[in-house]
Chain A
Amino acid sequence: MIPINDFLVLSSILFSLGIYGVLARRSAVLILMSVELMLQAVSINFIAFAVYLSPQAFTGLIFAVFVITIAAAEVGLALAIILRLYRNKATANVDEADMMKW
């Protein structure tokens, strides 16, 4: 059996990549994708722990399903917002979208 540490390392790497993407990228679409990466890192954690800690119960798996569902809904919403942004500013660069400051 694959040791749980491997899963945790994988999920940490994915999560860190996601954070890096969110912080470093300027394109709204890429930021969205990075957020998805972070979500999936969390899902991996859920599943790994579920299998290791309580193989009989489905709690962790159900959470993973929820995360996927929410991620799908979120993508729908976020893409719609990005489209509106593109329509208004003719760009998807989040640095340009600073109308909500002081």
Chain B
Amino acid sequence: MGAQEAYLIPALPAAAFVILLLFGKYLPRGGDFVAIAAIAGSFLLLFPVLVDFLDKANGTDFVPVEKSWEWVQFDNFEIRLGFFVDQITIVMLAVVSFVALLVQVYSVAYMRGDPKYGWYFTCMSLFAASMLTLVLADNLLLLYAAWEGVGFCSFLLIGFWWERRSAAEAAKKAFITTRIGDVGFLIGILLLWREAGTFDITEIFDFAARGGFNNADIGGLGLSGNAYLTIAVLFLFAGAVGKSGQFPLHVWLPDAMEGPTPVSALIHAATMVVAGVYMVARMFPLFVLADDIALDVVTALGLITVLMSATMGLVETDIKRVIAYSTLNSLGLMFVALGSGSVTAAMLYLLVHGFFKALLFLASGSVIHATEKQDIRELGGLAAKMPVTAAAFGIGTLAMIGVIPLSGFWAKDEVLHALDQHRNVVLYILALISVFITALYMTRLFIRTFLFEARDRVGWGHAHDAESLMTLPLVLLAALTAVGGLVVFGFVGEALGFPGGFGEFVFFAEPEKFDFAWGVAIFSTALAVGGIVAGWYFWSEKAEPARRAGEALQPVYETLYNRYYIDDAYQWVINRVVLTLGSLVAWFDRNIVNDTAVDGSAGLGLFAGFELKFLETGKLPNYALAIVAGVIGLAVLLLVLRL
């Protein structure tokens, strides 16, 4: 057993999916144990892979493991199918398999009694298989297939309660919005393939490093230098924008909260939405080779997303949607890190974000499970009733805010540090402002949910901590959230068997020793604490200051509450432009294609046949006359042609 068998990791959940799909109905408990056993197996398989990978490494000189099989072969065109294990793959595998395992265990209790219980675990297994395939894929085509696979699972699970119209609408919105990005992703892949002639990621890197994309051109556009590669990676990034909910395609993620809460924890926080970050990190050599504009765009969109989502989080009242905004916020920070050239910071944030965001979602799931309410205006005072959940949620909140020494602090400071070093001071200050706003809305979320007077006495009355199946994942995630960030330190990494801290395991080009940036830490901590204090001032007790502030800044409040009117703008475009064009196309299809061309030609044949059949009189002289006339006609024709 070693890294050569890494393909088993996605194979297990895939097998579970097939078993559940075919025999799930006949298995006791809907076959949930099959799904959980498979994902647990995947998680355990990670360790031999990791050990093997570390054994083969020489210090921080890691050897990626790649293995592939023939997939499609005709003439000299070949597509291979295989997996590729390197450091970022391992980080992703750890996040995906671990969070998926905990979430599925949690779901056993959360989804109990649901009529589609078995189907839920079937979808979860398919998702796990697709996601692990995405992470391991060694070529862009397989990656794209898995990419669509997780998008499809996301669609199924957001719309899990499709009987609710809003859930069905949200599923559709998520699918279509991410599809817009996916089209770009596919174009990017094809652009790379067009020049490099291969889908294999490593080969594309080699090709790019040899300067293969230099002066490549599309259809006589007159591109020169790195322009072709830049365009290609920007198209790739479009896929990441859709999948990871970056501005302007972020609108689907808050609506995706219509799905069951464990789904939000797994798919819309810890794993699928970070696939975009992962993909950019995986393709990072190309982003570096391309013109600077590529990484500028990544940074810019990331920062816009950070600021927009943080401000929208201030006024949102649905507990899950607030966390969804915080997810957008975190994803934006990851892209800011990537745009600033730091794969280390992005992947560290991705790792700890997987833990603390899953924790926040699962804890909010416990709240919803206990009170059947998810509007924070109706919650409050739950800390007394649900101490474990409150503690877990509190740890998650502090980690998201970035309070020392929780994991979020280290990750966020790495991002800020990278931004400070590689970008100008304006962007750095904007990011620091977002830290303050994050602290503000996360504090609001926590204290409105768990502290002070309960606004809804009925839900509060019967609320209590959930059973151990649900609290155990919370406690595990809370523990990891608390200490997970310490992996940045060299001695922690060495104690765990790594050659050093996180920066010496996951890095681009050169290993980065962790260096504690005092300036960044002081600024960010001050802003975080300031945000908490301000949040406490605004939203404690009856939240009077917040109400007054809202009234004083009515237009701002309205704008934020309506999500910058972006959803409305999209809806307007859909209603006015897309549906108008659609109705034109539909009219053309119905009247021209269907009624005229298809039905028309068929009708013409029918009509002609009906009219012509009367020529068949059955009378011999008529036929004879026709023959004679025909012969004479032919003879005349012959004479005419001869002349």
A residues adjacent to B (C-beta < 8 A) = 19, 22-23, 26, 28, 31, 94-95, 97-102
Contacts and interface: CB of A to CB of B under 8 A. Distances in A.
Contact of A94 (B614, B620, B625, B628): B620
Given A102-B613, A102-B614, A95 B619 contact: yes
> Nearest 6 CB-CB pairs, A to B?
A101-B618, A98-B618, A94-B620, A102-B613, A100-B618, A98-B619
A23 B625 contact: yes
Interface in B213-236: none
Contacts of A31: 620, 624
Interface string B604-631: 0000000001101111110011001000
A102 B614 CA distance: 7
Contact of B624 (A22, A97, A98, A101): A22
A97 B628 contact: no
Most interface-central of B613, B616, B621, B625 (chain A CB within 10 A): B621
A100 B616 CA distance: 8
A23 B625 CA distance: 6
Contact of B617 (A19, A28, A101): A101
Contacts of A28: 620
A31 B624 CA distance: 10
Contacts of B614: 102
Contacts of A95: 619, 621
A27 to B, nearest CB: 11
A59 to B, nearest CB: 24
B620 A97 contact: yes
A35 to B, nearest CB: 10
Contact of B621 (A94, A101, A102): A94
A28 B614 CA distance: 23
B215 to A, nearest CB: 72
- The B contact surface, by secondary structure, is helix
Nearest to B625: A23
A58 to B, nearest CB: 29
Contacts of B624: 22-23, 31
Contacts of A26: 621
A32 to B, nearest CB: 11
30 contacts: A19-B628, A22-B621, A22-B624, A22-B628, A23-B621, A23-B624, A23-B625, A23-B628, A26-B621, A28-B620, A31-B620, A31-B624, A94-B619, A94-B621, A95-B621, A97-B618, A97-B619, A98-B617, A98-B618, A98-B619, A99-B618, A100-B618, A101-B616, A101-B617, A101-B618, A101-B619, A102-B613, A102-B614, A102-B616, A102-B618
A17 B350 CA distance: 102
A73 B619 CA distance: 24
Contacts of B625: 23
Given A22-B628, A101-B616, 10 more contacts: A22-B621, A31-B620, A95-B619, A97-B620, A98-B617, A98-B618, A98-B619, A99-B618, A101-B617, A101-B618
A90 B178 CA distance: 82
Nearest to A28: B620
Contacts of B616: 100-102
Contacts of B628: 19, 22-23
Contacts of B619: 94-95, 97-98, 101
A6 B614 CA distance: 44
Contacts of A23: 621, 624-625, 628
A63 B125 CA distance: 84
A94 to B, nearest CB: 4
A94 B616 CA distance: 15
A31 B628 CA distance: 14
Which of B614, B616, B619 has most A Cβ within 10 Å? B619
Interface in B581-624: 613-614, 616-621, 624
A94 B617 CA distance: 12
Nearest to B613: A102
Contacts of A94: 619-621
A102 to B, nearest CB: 4
A38 to B, nearest CB: 11
Interface in B436-452: none
A99 B618 CA distance: 6
Nearest to B610: A102
Nearest to A100: B618
A97 B620 CA distance: 8
B144 to A, nearest CB: 59
Nearest to B628: A19
A22 B621 CA distance: 7
Contacts of A102: 613-614, 616, 618
Contacts of B618: 97-102
A101 B616 CA distance: 5
Nearest to B618: A101
B611 to A, nearest CB: 11
Interface string B118-146: 00000000000000000000000000000
A26 B619 CA distance: 10
B21 to A, nearest CB: 56
B116 to A, nearest CB: 59
A78 to B, nearest CB: 12
> Which of B613, B614, B618, B628 has the most C-beta atoms of chain A within 10 angstroms of its own C-beta?
B618
A94 B620 CA distance: 6
Contacts of A19: 628
